[in-house]
Amino acid sequence: MTKEFDAKKAAEKGYTKEDWDAVSDNPPITAEEAENMRPAREVLPPAFFSELEEARKARGRPPKDVTKQSVTIRLKPETVEKFKATGRGWQSRISDILDAAKP
């Protein structure tokens, strides 16, 4: 999506609409260009898509050896509020207290 030209901001920075149009990163597509467009899979080599898929798999947090289990527990509202008031990580602090109370 191309940013809209703002004449007031442009004037403050010392350029004109012609300047903006000359350096636009995304000029409008002509009707001829639109007619000649083809899907990327038709024009790019298959290796491109293999690399792209590998890059997508590599994103995100690496898996942990030991993960936590999501459970539902009913606590008194006062208890929840006291832990939340201690800031970020309040769920982990509850977990630590429960770990310390193991029989």
Give Cβ neighbours of residue 24 (< 8 Å, ≥ 6 apart): 2
pLDDT given for residue 36 in this prediction: 93
Looking at the structure, do residues 74 and 42 belong to the same domain, yes or no? no
- Residue 65 in any domain: the answer is no
State the total domains in the chain: 2
Which pLDDT value is given to residue 64? Answer: 84
Q: What is the pLDDT of residues 28-42, one digit of tens each?
A: 889 999 999 999 999
Separation of alpha carbons 29 and 33, rounded Å: 6
Whether residues 39 and 76 fall in one domain: no
Whether residues 86 and 49 share a domain: the answer is no
pLDDT, residue 2, reads 52
Q: How far from chain centre, in Å, is Cα 34?
A: 29
54 and 76 housed in the same domain: no
| pLDDT tens readout for residues 6-55 | 878 878 888 888 877 777 677 788 999 999 999 999 999 999 999 999 98
